[in-house]
Amino acid sequence: MTTTSSPSQPPIYTPTNIPSLAPSYSLTAAEVSTLSSLSSAAKATAYCPYSRFRVGATILTTDGQYFSGANVENASYPVGTCAERVAFAKAVTDLAAQVEGGRFGGAGAPDAKGEGGFGEWKRLGGGFRALAVATDNSLPASPCGMCRQLWVLFSSSIEVVESVWLKEC
């Protein structure tokens, strides 16, 4: 496997060697390839007229569903939303709708904790397995603290595939 790295940067993997990462993340080669492809495709939906820095993110759930998102900027920089948070928000709302629609057999009614259908999905065994992020940079972009906090909140056991810096060629 050919990778590049430096003491301050983890290895950068190219599309040809991404599938070989699967065992390191308890994922199949197909799952890693799908995460990579979907996060790269999500970049095309980014709204980034200020920075022109496109980011796409994809989350894999324990039941095999993929949810993608892209960064959405605002002229007031802190108001923008990172791709990882968009993907998590999409997963939470779509999974809640699936539970409320009866897909998982739960009622999905709001509970005392205010978790609604997403909380029911978690109680039924749902969870997040992996997260992948793609950018146009030749060097990796580290996720922000808000994104890191969000994935820890939703899944302390999530495999962060982006930590190996998936690079497009």
- Which range of 77-86, 128-137, 151-160 scores highest in mean pLDDT? It is 77-86
**Owner of token pair 């022109």:** 52
Whether the pTM exceeds 0.85: the reply is: no
For the segment 83-132, what is each residue's pLDDT rounded down to a tens digit? Answer: 999 999 999 888 888 887 766 655 545 555 666 777 777 777 778 888 88
Give φ, ψ of 103 to 5 degrees: -60, -35
What are the structure tokens assigned to 32, written together? Answer: 């890693």
CATH of domain 9-164: 3.40.140.10
Choice between 33 and 166, residue whose per-residue pLDDT is larger: 33
- CB contact set of 45 (below 8 Å; sequence gap of 6+): 56, 70
**How much of the chain exceeds pLDDT 90, in percent?**
24
The catalytic site residues sit at: 84
Conformational region of residue 102, where left means phi above 0, alpha means psi within -120 to 50, and beta covers everything else:
left
Domains of the chain, residue spans: 9-164
Q: What is the mean pLDDT of residues 36-44?
A: 91
Predicted confidence at residue 7, as pLDDT, reads: 47
Name the average pLDDT for the chain.
77
Q: Where are the beta strands (DSSP E) in the chain?
A: 4-6, 9-12, 55-61, 66-70, 128-135, 159-160
